[in-house]
């Protein structure tokens, strides 16, 4: 995914990880999703890795 939709997805994932879940460095994070939500789940996982999870 590219363009504005990808940027919005990344921003949503960062918000979920940083504010919603308050992921901290070294924290173990489990992420799951329903079929069809793969792109969102991948974006959330990437944001959690960037935070040091």
DSSP assignment of the chain:
--SHHHHHHHHHHHHIIIIIS---TT--------TT-HHHHHHHHHHHHHTT-
Domain count across the chain:
1
For 10, the domain range is: 4-50
| pLDDT confidence of residue 46 | 97
| pLDDT confidence of residue 23 | 97
pTM of the model: 0.91
For 1-53, what is each residue's pLDDT tens digit? 789 999 999 999 999 999 999 999 999 999 999 999 999 999 999 999 999 99
């Amino acid at each position: 995914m590219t363009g504005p939709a990808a940027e919005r997805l990344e921003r949503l994932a960062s918000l979920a990880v940083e504010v919603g879940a308050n992921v901290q460095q070294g924290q173990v994070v489990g992420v799951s999703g329903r079929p069809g939500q793969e792109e969102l789940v991948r974006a959330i996982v990437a944001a959690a890795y960037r935070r040091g999870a």
